[in-house]
Amino acid sequence: MPEEIVHWVSECSPTVVIDGTYGAGGHSRLLLDVVGDEGLVIGLDRDPAVLARVESEPAVDRLSVFLGSYEQAAKALQASGLEHADAMVLDLGLSSDQLADRDRGFSFQHDGPLDLRFDPENGIPASEWLARNSEKAIADAIYQFGEERFSRRIAREIVARGKRREPVRTVAALVEICRRCVPRGKHHDIHPATRTFQALRIAVNEELDILTRTLQQAPDWLSSGGRLAVISFHSLEDRIVKNAFRDDDRWNVLTKKPLRPSEEEVADNARSRSAKLRVAERR
Ligand SMILES: C[S@@+](CC[C@H](N)C(=O)[O-])C[C@H]1O[C@@H](n2cnc3c(N)ncnc32)[C@H](O)[C@@H]1O
């Protein structure tokens, strides 16, 4: 929802903007125009591949990109000699580059190692997460983060394979389990593995905890009148953003209901269909 981001961020005439999820830099490029010649865009991304790409390209004036979670925004501000930003943008989820990389496990259309980490240099891959957790913990994660009704069956199969000394290590192995456990039906018009992969990605990257902690701290990072815009793709994420904005009186909520992408954008990019944008202003 790039046009909406530019609209809501421009309204507060920012000089310093944090792009907490730099990805391919699409938002940052637009935000460079918003901050003007004297301004600065600070990008953050957890994925070392994103930083490697940025470093292999010619440096861009007024843009600093850091490797790290958006939860570390205060450190990035400090490293830039600043205490506050005037706006911050979060575009949650994964990028098309990550989806296309067969070694990361994000796309269940291609086989590869079942990793699913945004930062493959830290934490544990999804295959290891499955090996270390109990059947109940796996089922709960798939149910809670993926809203998958057949979570218990899937977890049972995963654990049974481990007991047979055939642990689930690859994308294809997990897809095969999902196909067997999730019946095609009116509630399952999507690929049978979609919800399970989403749930595991959220669990392995601790996405909801990081988002929750960040929303609690973000008012400290923004100047008065500054704005935070969050694009989420999952109902749990959206609920976290909605409640954090509503329950903290340092925020003035600017979007009573979440904004949705235009039909044109969805036609152009099918992955945007579940996007929801919420914006709040620091009082
Ligand atoms: C949807 S993409 C962002 C696309 C970007 N807005 C653009 O225009 O190219 C999401 C990005 O957020 C990154 N990401 C996910 N969780 C993160 C976190 N906690 N901190 C920083 N980056 C994160 C992912 O690695 C991915 O590159």
Q: What does pLDDT average to in each consecutive run of 10 residues of the chain (283 residues)?
A: 97 98 98 96 98 96 98 98 98 93 91 96 97 98 96 98 96 97 77 95 97 98 98 95 98 97 90 93 98
**End position of a domain, from candidates 170, 186, 204:** 204
Report if residue 104 sits inside a domain.
Answer: no
Q: How far is the CA of 45 from the centre of ligand 1 (A)?
A: 6
Whether residues 213 and 269 share a domain: the answer is yes
**Residue type for position 271:** R
Q: How far is the CA of 23 from the centre of ligand 1 (A)?
A: 5
User: Counting beta carbons within 10 angstroms of the beta carbon of residue 38, is it exposed (0 to 12), middle (13 to 18) or buried (19 or more)?
Assistant: exposed
Whether residues 10 and 90 share a domain: the answer is yes
**End position of a domain, from candidates 179, 204, 229:** 204
Report if residue 170 sits inside a domain.
Answer: yes
CA-nearest of 209, 212, 247, 232 to 278 is 232
Distance CA 189, CA 34 (A): 41
Summarised one tens digit per residue, pLDDT across range 128-166 is 999 999 999 999 999 999 999 999 999 999 999 999 999
Report if residue 239 sits inside a domain.
Answer: yes
Residue 26: predicted pLDDT: 97
Residue 275: predicted pLDDT: 96
Summarised one tens digit per residue, pLDDT across range 2-41 is 999 999 999 999 999 999 999 999 999 999 999 999 999 9
Ligand 1 atom nearest residue 72's Cα? 20
Report if residue 103 sits inside a domain.
Answer: no
Whether residues 90 and 211 share a domain: the answer is yes
Whether residues 133 and 165 share a domain: the answer is yes
Whether residues 124 and 245 share a domain: the answer is no
Whether residues 58 and 74 share a domain: the answer is yes
Runs of H (alpha helix) within 101-170: 126-132, 135-146, 151-163
Helix, strand, coil share (%) of the chain residues, nearest 5: 50, 15, 35
Ligand 1 atom nearest residue 26's Cα? 8
**End position of a domain, from candidates 204, 236, 268:** 204
Whether residues 198 and 146 share a domain: the answer is yes
Report if residue 113 sits inside a domain.
Answer: no
Q: Closest Cα to atom 24, ligand 1: which residue?
A: 94
Ligand 1 atom nearest residue 25's Cα? 9
Q: How far is the CA of 220 from the centre of ligand 1 (A)?
A: 21
Report if residue 107 sits inside a domain.
Answer: no
CB-defined site of ligand 1, < 6 Å: 20-21, 23-27, 44-47, 50, 69-70, 91, 93-95, 118, 210
Residue 271: predicted pLDDT: 82
Residue 109: predicted pLDDT: 85
Whether residues 218 and 189 share a domain: the answer is no
Q: Closest Cα to atom 3, ligand 1: which residue?
A: 23
Joined together, the tokens standing for residue 201 give 């990605």
Give the structural domain span for 199: 120-204
For the chain, what is the domain count? 2
Pocket-testing residue among 46, 106, 204, ligand 1, by greatest number of atoms within 8 A of Cβ: 46
Whether residues 219 and 86 share a domain: the answer is yes
Whether residues 158 and 228 share a domain: the answer is no
Whether residues 87 and 18 share a domain: the answer is yes
Distance CA 120, CA 46 (A): 9
Pocket-testing residue among 9, 118, 269, ligand 1, by greatest number of atoms within 8 A of Cβ: 118
Ligand 1 atom nearest residue 28's Cα? 8
Whether residues 85 and 214 share a domain: the answer is yes
Report if residue 151 sits inside a domain.
Answer: yes
The CATH number of the domain holding residue 143 is: 1.10.150.170
